[in-house]
Structure 1
Amino acid sequence: MKDNFSFKHRLDAFFFVAGASILLVRTIIMLSQNSMISMVGWVAALLFMEFLFDLGWLFSSILWWISNKRKWLKITLRLAATAIILHAIRVLIFILGRVGPWIDFDYRPEYRPLQYSDRTWIYFAAIMSILGVIGVIVVWIARRHLKTRKGSQ
């Protein structure tokens, strides 16, 4: 990739910034609703780790948008994949905590009655997380395929 400014580069960087912003806003909302206090320690740590990866993803996306350097693209892709996978794991924990034999295992006992929500949002979060992980896998396969094609020429 050349270090030039193209419309495609700007559009890709914009989508990375938008994706990071969406996850970051959702994570900040959870943090502002005292989730760190109401969640069990390891789930709260997972939420905070996701917050840090979302923040790193956003900043690296902005730096890639500004500079169009391959280094920032690689960092952005790695941080985005990590943040998306962490988010999917956290959503899976949330879903398991609302259904099945593990109801409310992710919240401290004194906060458990407050965590019941409409099932629509649970399904929406699950579908979006699955789509995000599928997107990570597709990009990973496409980049590997591109590397092997370049290596064979």
Structure 2
Amino acid sequence: MRRVKDSRQRFYAGLLMLGAGVLIFRTLRMVTVEEAAEILVDWVYVLLIMEFMIAGACLLAAMRWFTLSKWQYASTALKLGAWAAIFHAFRVLIYVLGRTGPWVNFDVKPEYREAYSFDWFWVYFAATFSVLGLIGVYIIWRLWRSKKKLL
């Protein structure tokens, strides 16, 4: 007898796969097209690669949850998704601080500081979506906690 898959679980897992996919795409674009390895300071580049690995693990866990459609697989995917969102928000905070105040371009290698340019739209865009990601993590955490209390 074939088990019916829960469409709600598949929807949540699909959203998580989409979010992880966006983070992976953005990281790959930064590394290949924007030459982040050459421009960014080493420790910022390491943070970028760590975010890529967490997002990749989140994508794989969400794919497993999507395929099997069981709540027991949701925990790993949601935890990795939360870590990916938190890590991304931290990296975006470094990016925003590197564009403002007394720390202008501290995350860029010295030889690229004068020539490095950016568009303020992308600074606001990154900051806004990072804050939205953190709000999403908080909401999911609260819902998960209340669900565990009911059980």
| TM-score, normalised with respect to structure 1 | 0.91
Decide whether the 8 Å contact of 1:20 with 1:55 is kept in 2: yes
Q: Which shows bigger deviation, 105-114 or 43-52? A: 105-114
Measured against aligned partners, the alpha-carbon deviations of 1:73-131 in whole angstroms (never above 9, x if no partner) come to 11101110111111101111000000001011111101223432111111111010000
* SS of aligned partner of 2:5: coil
* SS of aligned partner of 1:44: helix
Give distance in 2, aligned partners of 1:148 and 1:4. 27
* SS of aligned partner of 1:115: coil
Decide whether the 8 Å contact of 2:9 with 2:71 is kept in 1: no
Gap runs ≥5 in structure 1? none
**Identical pairs, percent:** 39
Determine if the alignment matches structure 1 residue 25 to structure 2 residue 21: no
RMSD: 1.4
Consecutive aligned runs of 4 or more in structure 1 exceeding 4 Å deviation: none
Aligned residues: 148
Aligned residue in 2 for 1:81: 82
Decide whether the 8 Å contact of 1:4 with 1:68 is kept in 2: no
**Which residue type is aligned with residue 134 of structure 1?**
I
What is the Cα deviation at residue 70 of structure 1?
A: 3.3
Give distance in 2, aligned partners of 1:43 and 1:145. 36
* SS of aligned partner of 2:114: helix
* SS of aligned partner of 1:113: coil
